[in-house]
């Protein structure tokens, strides 16, 4: 198979879909890899490393997209839609639930899309997990900085010092992002509250963290009270393939202390806060009702080498399965790959995406 690796076009997206070591493995399996000039440079991988691995380097991005399969990190931007072609396999984060324009372009061009974020393995999301781990830890780091005076914050140190109150941190969602946020926030000494619908998950978090946290069942009253009394709130609730639920209403945000911080890790599927709109690493924050909002959709892009290696450690196995077997046989042999296929031959083949988009659903089993 001919596999294309383009340079990411989203602002300040510094990750890349394949490392030179990944490319070497694919070439050893008999595939050809076409890499766009400087595709991996911002992740610390130069063109020479890709050439040494056996890749073909090109300047023209159209030649990369002409491949049979394109491996990326983020969903294509509108200027990349022109490169779509019938039969193309696109393997990347898509987040189609909140992007009807992209969904239409993919359907019109009969692109086969495998979305990292909808791939399920025994109840887990194996290609979302590594980036969720990164984003969860970074959310606390970012929040700690935004609470500082020189970032417009209320001059609070997360962990306080002896004789001074610690900051209050609320984490909505006890999944991978939430757990990793709680782990770091606890380690820094903050007062941490975790809110989730699942009491078993909350019990496991209490048992696993090794530091004291307040756990609360998710309901409107608990969310309102905890958020209003917090210095930092992290939203981390995501439903695979669907628009994320709005869990914090604007009237609650109006009652927060001036200078408090909201970080919406779920922004790429709509966000958990009613006042959320997507931002970038170049302009990451905005203020509403005196509350600083951080809603960058590609938080791990700020640490691209760590994030790229973590992601490709998990994704390469599936990339090789698809390249070695073709998409249909790979889907037959590996249920996780089947769960990742969002579009095929002009149809939506993921039920959650079809419902979020209000489009017809066609089960992939119809074709295989």
Enter the tokens of residue 323: 């390249």
Q: Tell me the C-alpha to C-alpha distance, in Å, between residue 132 and each of 63, 128, 179, 207, 305.
A: 32, 6, 10, 21, 15
Establish whether 74 is an annotated binding residue: yes
Does 218 count as an annotated binding residue? yes
Is 111 annotated as ligand-binding?
no
> 47 near 38, Cβ under 8 Å?
yes
CA–CA–CA angle 306, 16, 64 (5° rounding): 165
**Pairs from 154-163 (Cβ < 8 Å, separation ≥ 24):** 154/231, 154/257, 154/258, 154/259, 154/260, 156/231, 158/185, 158/188, 158/189, 158/190, 158/232, 159/188, 159/189, 159/190, 160/189
| Residue 181 among known ligand-binding residues | no
DSSP 244: P
Query: Is 95 annotated in the active site?
Result: yes
Find the catalytic residue in 95, 231, 264, 347: 95
Crossing angle for the helix pair 20-28 and 304-325, nearest 10 degrees?
10
Check 231, 264, 268, 293 and give the catalytic one. 268
CA atoms of 239 and 295, how far apart (whole Å):
18
Would you list the DSSP string of 46-102?
A: -HHHHHHHTPEEES-HHHHHTSSEEE-SSPPPGGGGGG--TT-EEEE---GGG-HHH
Tell whether residue 266 is among the known ligand binding residues. Answer: yes
Residue 15 in contact with residue 40, Cβ under 8 Å? Answer: no
Residue 292 · residue 285 · CB < 8 Å? yes
Establish whether 137 is an annotated binding residue. no
59 marked ligand binding residue: no
Active site residue 289: no
Tokens of 230: 């917090």
CA distances from 34 to 23, 37, 325 (A): 9, 10, 19
Report whether 353 belongs to an annotated binding site. Answer: no
User: What's the CA angle centered on 298, arms 297 and 303, to 5 degrees?
Assistant: 150
Does the annotation list 71 as a binding residue? no
Binding residues for substrate, by number, are 15, 74
Give binding residues for NAD(+) as ranges.
132, 196, 201, 218, 237-238, 265-268
- Known binding-site residue numbers for Mg(2+): 321
Active site residues: 95, 268
Known binding site: residues? Answer: 15, 74, 132, 196, 201, 218, 237-238, 265-268, 321
């Amino acid at each position: 198979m001919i596999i294309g690796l383009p340079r990411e076009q989203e602002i300040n997206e510094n990750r890349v879909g394949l490392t030179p070591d990944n490319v070497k493995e694919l070439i050893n399996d008999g595939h050809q890899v076409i890499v766009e000039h400087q595709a991996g440079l911002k992740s610390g991988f130069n063109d020479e490393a890709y050439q040494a691995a056996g890749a073909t380097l090109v300047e023209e991005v159209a030649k990369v997209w002409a491949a049979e399969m394109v491996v990326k990190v983020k969903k294509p931007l509108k200027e990349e839609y022109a490169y779509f072609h019938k039969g193309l396999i696109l393997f990347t984060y898509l987040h189609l639930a909140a992007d009807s324009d992209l969904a239409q372009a993919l359907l019109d061009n009969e692109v086969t899309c495998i979305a990292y974020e909808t791939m399920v393995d025994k109840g887990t999301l194996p290609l979302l997990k590594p980036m969720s781990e990164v984003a969860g830890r970074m959310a606390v780091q970012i929040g700690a900085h935004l609470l500082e005076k020189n970032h417009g914050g209320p001059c609070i140190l997360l962990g306080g010092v002896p004789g001074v109150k610690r900051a209050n941190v609320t984490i909505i969602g006890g999944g991978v992002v939430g757990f990793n946020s709680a782990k770091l926030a606890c380690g820094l000494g903050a007062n941490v509250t975790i809110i989730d619908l699942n009491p078993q998950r909350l019990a496991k978090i209490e048992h696993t963290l090794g530091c004291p946290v307040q756990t609360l069942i998710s309901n409107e009253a608990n969310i309102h009270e905890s958020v209003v009394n917090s210095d930092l709130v992290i939203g981390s609730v995501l439903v695979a393939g669907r628009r994320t639920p709005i869990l914090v209403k604007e009237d609650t945000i109006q009652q927060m202390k001036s200078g408090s911080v909201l970080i919406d890790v779920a922004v790429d599927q709509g966000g958990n806060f009613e006042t959320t709109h997507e931002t970038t690493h170049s302009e990451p924050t905005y203020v509403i009702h005196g509350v600083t909002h951080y809603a960058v959709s590609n938080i791990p892009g700020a640490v691209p080498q760590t994030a790229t290696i973590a992601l490709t450690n998990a994704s390469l196995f599936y990339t090789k399965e698809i390249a070695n077997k073709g998409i249909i046989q790979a889907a037959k042999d590996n249920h996780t790959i089947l769960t990742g296929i969002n579009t095929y031959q002009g149809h939506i083949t993921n039920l959650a995406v079809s419902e979020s988009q209000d489009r017809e659903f066609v089960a992939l089993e119809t074709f295989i």
